[in-house]
Amino acid sequence: MHNFGIRIEVLNRFRTEKETNDILKRLQEGKIDVLIGTHKILNEKIKFKDLGLLVLDEEQRFGVKDKEKIKKIKTDIDVLTLSATPIPRTLHMSLSGIRDISVIATPPRDRLPIQTYVSTYSDELLQDVVSRELSRNGKALILFNKVSQIYDFASHVKELIPQAKVGVAHGQMMERELSKVINDLYDDKFNLFISTTLIENGIDLPTLNTLFVVDCDMLGLSQLYQIRGRIGRADKLAYAYLTYNGGKILTEEAYKRLDAIKEFRELGSGFKIAIRDLEIRGAGNILGKEQHGHMQKVGYDMYVKLLEEVTKEVNGQKTTSEKEIKMELVLDAYISEDYIPVQDERIVFYDKISKISNENEYNSVLQELNQSNGEVPVSVKNLCKIAYLKNLAKDFNVKKIKINDIDCELHFYKSEEIIDKRLSNIGKFYDTRLKFEDTPILKVNIKGKVIEKVDVLIEMLAKAQKV
C-alpha cells in the first residue's frame, strides 16, 4: 500500500522492545494509518490517536477478558469480526439479531473438498499416510498437542519414516527459534511438520496436503475445522486423518464432534460447523463470562424468546407478552416413532408444527412431511391443525379452547372489552352465543366430530383475523 501513502505497521512478539516503543509512539502521534497485530494490541499502554475501524480476525481465538478489553477500544467505532467458526455465543448473538451477520460460502477458485477420515491411531496408518504424501512431493502435517512429549514423538516418527525431513513447532519455543522453524517450513527444508495447535491459524502452504491428527477427541469442533483448513489450499486433493486412542471410550460430545467434522467436509461448511457446535455446546451467557454452555434455569427456546423480546425493546419495537392457551380436547395428535424413527428429526418437525400460524405454513409443513417421510398419518395432521388453531387463538386473548362431543367453546381472559370486536363481527355468520362464568365464553354450536369442530374454529378465527 506504500504507493497510496498508507503507513502500515505490525505489532507482535517478534518485535524488539525498541521497535515496539517506536511503533507505539508513532501510533499515538497519528503517524501510522493501519496497525496489524496479535493480542498485543489489547495492551492498555497502546493509545490510538483517531481509531475509526477495528477488524477482528479469527474471533474464536479471543477469550472473555480479551473481549472486555476490545469493548473499551471499540466504543463508537465500526467493528468487523471475521471467523470461519465463530464461538457459540457470538454466533447466537448474530442469529438472534444483536449483531449483524454476513456469510461467505463461496470457496476460492479450483479449491477441492478435503477427504476426511476418522480412525483409531496406529503406526502403520501414520507411516502409510505420510509416505503416500511424500511420494507425490507434497508436505504432511502431524498435529500432536502434548508439548512435553512432542520431541519423543518426533523421534519415533523419524524411525517410522526415515525419508522424512522433520520439523517441530510448539508455543513454548523462543521467538527466534519459532520464527526460524516456520520460515524453514516455507523454504522447503521440511516435508513433514509436527506441531501443537499453534498451527491452527496463519499457515498457508499450497504443498501442504495431508493432515494427521493424534488424539483428535481432545480437540474442539471449531479447532478441528480450523486445523483441517491448513491443508488443501491449492488445486490438489487433500486428505485429513483424525485419529484417537483405540482403547479409549469416547464421550458423547467427542463422538458428536467427530461425526460433525466427518459430515461437513464440503467447501465453505464453516458456518454449518459453527451451528453444530452451538447445538452441542450451548449458546453460553450473553451477559456473563461463559462463551458456551446450556441454559440451566430456563430452556433454550424460552431463553431465545426472552432475548428476542429484550432486543425488540432496545430497538424501540413494540412487544406483546404471550399468554398461555390451555387446550381441552380429546384427539390423537402426535408424531409416532414408526412415522419418523429418528428422535432429532421428530423434534425438528415438532418445532416447525408448533409455529404454524396460517394456511400456507400449514400446507407447507404437510408437504414437507409427505416428501421426506411419506403419507402423513391422521395423528400428525391433527397435531398440525391443533397447532394452527392455538396460534390463531393467541391473537384474540383466548385463555382456553374446549372441544368435546357436546361442547365447542372459546374461554377468554378478562379484559376491558369482553371479546375482540373482530370476533363479534364474524360471529354473525356462525351459530354462536356469549355466556359468562369465571371468564367470558364464546360458545359455537357445531354438530359433528371433534376434528370437524376444530376445522370450523380455524375457519372462524382465520376470517376474523382478516376483518
Question: CA 396, CA 329: separation in Å to the nearest integer?
Answer: 19
Mean pLDDT per 10-residue interval, the chain, length 467 residues: 89 86 90 88 80 82 70 75 71 64 76 85 94 93 93 94 93 88 91 89 84 88 80 87 82 72 63 61 52 48 67 71 81 90 84 90 92 91 92 87 88 74 79 80 86 90 85
Question: CA 86, CA 137: separation in Å to the nearest integer?
Answer: 34
Phi/psi-derived region of residue 110, left when phi > 0, alpha when psi is between -120 and 50, beta in every other case: left
- Measured in degrees and rounded to the nearest 5, phi and psi for residue 391 equal -70, -30
Question: Which residues are paired to 167 by β-bridges?
Answer: 193
- pTM (2 d.p.): 0.54
Q: Using the 8-state DSSP alphabet, how is residue 106 labeled?
A: P
User: Are β-strands 408-412 and 440-444 bridged in parallel, bridged antiparallel, or unpaired?
Assistant: antiparallel
Q: Please state at what angle helix 221-228 crosses helix 270-281, rounded to 10 degrees.
A: 160
Closest CA to 47 of 59, 60, 61, 31: 31
In the chain the domains, ranked by start, together with CATH numbers, are 2-95 (3.40.50.300), 115-265 (3.40.50.300), 326-466 (3.90.1150.50)
Q: Give every CB contact of residue 91 below 8 A, 6+ residues apart in sequence.
A: 274, 275, 277, 278, 283
What is the model's pLDDT at position 313? 75
How many other CB atoms are found less than 10 A from the CB of residue 426? 20
Cβ atoms 31, 6 nearer than 8 A: no
Question: Which residues are paired to 208 by β-bridges?
Answer: 139
Return the C-alpha cell found at 93.
448473538
| List of E strands, 250-362 | 326-329
Query: Residues of 10-26 as b/e, b for ≥16 C-beta within 10 angstroms?
Result: ebeeebeeeebeebbee
What is the model's pLDDT at position 291? 46
What is the model's pLDDT at position 296? 47
CA distances from residue 53 to 5, 35, 101 in whole angstroms, order as listed: 18, 11, 17
The number of C-alpha atoms within 13 Å of 75 and in the hemisphere containing its C-beta is: 5
> DSSP string covering 42-86, please?
G-TT---SS--EEEE-SGGG--HHHHHHHHHHTTTSEEEE--SS-
Closest CA to 451 of 330, 325, 326: 330
Question: CA 130, CA 297: separation in Å to the nearest integer?
Answer: 49
Residue with the three cell numbers 373482530: 422
Residue with the three cell numbers 404437510: 366
> DSSP string covering 381-427, please?
HHHHHHHHHHHHHGGGTEEEEEESSS-EEEEE---SSSS-HHHHHHG
Question: CA 297, CA 96: separation in Å to the nearest integer?
Answer: 19
What is the model's pLDDT at position 294? 46
pLDDT, tens digit (0-9, with 9 covering 90-100), for 342-366: 887 888 888 889 889 899 999 999 9
Share the mean pLDDT of the chain.
82
What is the model's pLDDT at position 2? 80
Question: CA 221, CA 73: separation in Å to the nearest integer?
Answer: 30
